[in-house]
């Protein structure tokens, strides 16, 4: 509730700063302004838009969408941009609140709407199941969708195609460039997809163990993998119980798992406990949700991070 109160207050400020109800020119200095809520959207905008766009990333380096609150300046940028490219889902409920309050909202594209969304899965051994058992509660009513749609390169292609279509509609003079960039990027995504399929086909097992949250359901569904994890992808609580840790330790031992996985910016304490107890290794799997300030400054891309994941998967399934 506090987040929505904050958004409403900032929205009031925004409207007072632009009471005339008209928006600034969408194309500035020959470039289409695209405001992106998360890193994958930001990078896809750079790749497909190329030299005709100026992409801006809202989510600060290393930050979590689940706790992000836009500033007044962020809201002004969104209102005046040519395209607002956001992820959607419960973590970005503030977007709907923002757009409903504008008399002249910007063009928008929601990544979650570009694909067939998967419901969040609460799997055997996850902390939430143990908590519900202890409290005598049943699971939450109604579907909650996994928001990390870009973790499958195939889904990334679908998102980029939708982005290209929107860019061509908004900026028809750039259509030739946008479609050329899309074709080149789709080829790179297809190469990545093929590399993941080879890694899975050549693996000795079909199970990944995440000693962490699990924000990569689209990935495992795409490549036919099973998994165990401590928490679902959008979990707020990441302090595991002894029962959760013991469950994962048992799975690692039973299936002779060579390495457990963590995601970026994890404290890795749970993984360290499991590694110490079982002798397995520890590997990083990039969800690509966010990047460090250094990576952002150096121009690291979605493809860079996902190719690192190819090597991680080879080792984890070996």
Domains of the chain: 2-117+148-188 (3.40.50.1980), 202-316 (3.40.50.1980)
pLDDT of residue 99: 82
- What is the signed CA dihedral for 145, 307, 160, 24, rounded to 10 degrees? 90
Q: How many CA atoms lie within 13 A of 275 on its CB side?
A: 14
- What is the signed CA dihedral for 56, 57, 60, 63, rounded to 10 degrees? 180
Strands 31-36 and 27-28 come out as: antiparallel
* CB 191 within 8 Å of CB 254: no
pLDDT of residue 28: 62
DSSP-assigned letters across all residues of 8-72:
HHHHHHHHHHTTT--PPPSEETTEEEEEESSHHHHHHHHHHHGGGEEEEE-SPTT--GGG----H
- Tracing tokens 């405001």 back to the chain, one arrives at 35
Indicate the pTM of the whole model: 0.89
pLDDT of residue 25: 43
SS3 154: helix
pLDDT of residue 132: 61
Walk along the chain (318 residues) in steps of 10 and give the mean pLDDT of each run: 50 49 56 96 98 95 80 89 94 83 83 94 80 57 82 98 98 97 98 98 96 95 96 73 94 96 93 97 96 95 98 96
Q: How many CA atoms lie within 13 A of 177 on its CB side?
A: 15
Return the number of other C-beta atoms located less than 10 Å from residue 297's C-beta. Answer: 10
């Amino acid at each position: 509730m506090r987040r929505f109160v904050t958004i409403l207050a900032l929205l009031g400020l925004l409207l007072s700063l632009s009471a005339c109800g008209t928006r600034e020119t969408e194309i500035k200095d020959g470039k289409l302004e695209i405001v992106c809520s998360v890193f994958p959207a930001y990078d896809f905008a750079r790749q497909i838009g190329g030299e005709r766009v100026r992409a801006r990333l809202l989510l600060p380096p290393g930050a979590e969408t689940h706790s992000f609150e836009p500033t007044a300046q962020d809201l002004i940028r969104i209102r005046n941009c040519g395209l607002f490219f956001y992820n959607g889902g419960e973590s970005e409920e503030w977007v709907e609140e923002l757009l409903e309050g504008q008399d002249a909202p910007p063009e928008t594209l929601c990544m979650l709407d570009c694909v067939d969304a998967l419901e969040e899965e609460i799997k055997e051994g996850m902390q939430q199941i143990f908590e519900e058992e202890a409290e005598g509660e049943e699971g939450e009513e109604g579907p909650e969708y996994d928001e990390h749609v870009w973790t499958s390169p195939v889904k990334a292609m679908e998102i980029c195609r939708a982005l290209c279509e929107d860019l061509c509609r908004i900026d028809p003079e750039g259509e030739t460039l946008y479609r050329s960039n899309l074709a080149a990027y789709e080829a790179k995504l297809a190469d990545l997809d093929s590399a993941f399929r080879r890694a899975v086909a050549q693996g000795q097992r079909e199970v990944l163990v995440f000693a962490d949250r699990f924000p990569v359901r689209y990935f495992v569904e795409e490549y036919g993998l099973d998994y165990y994890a401590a928490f679902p992808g959008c979990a707020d609580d990441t302090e595991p119980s002894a029962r959760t840790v013991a469950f994962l330790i048992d799975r690692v031992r039973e299936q002779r798992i060579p390495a457990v996985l963590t995601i970026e910016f994890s404290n890795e304490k749970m993984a360290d406990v499991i590694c110490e107890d079982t002798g397995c290794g520890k590997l990083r799997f990039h969800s690509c949700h966010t990047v460090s300030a250094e990576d952002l400054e150096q121009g690291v891309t979605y493809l860079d991070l996902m190719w690192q994941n190819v090597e991680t998967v080879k080792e984890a399934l070996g």
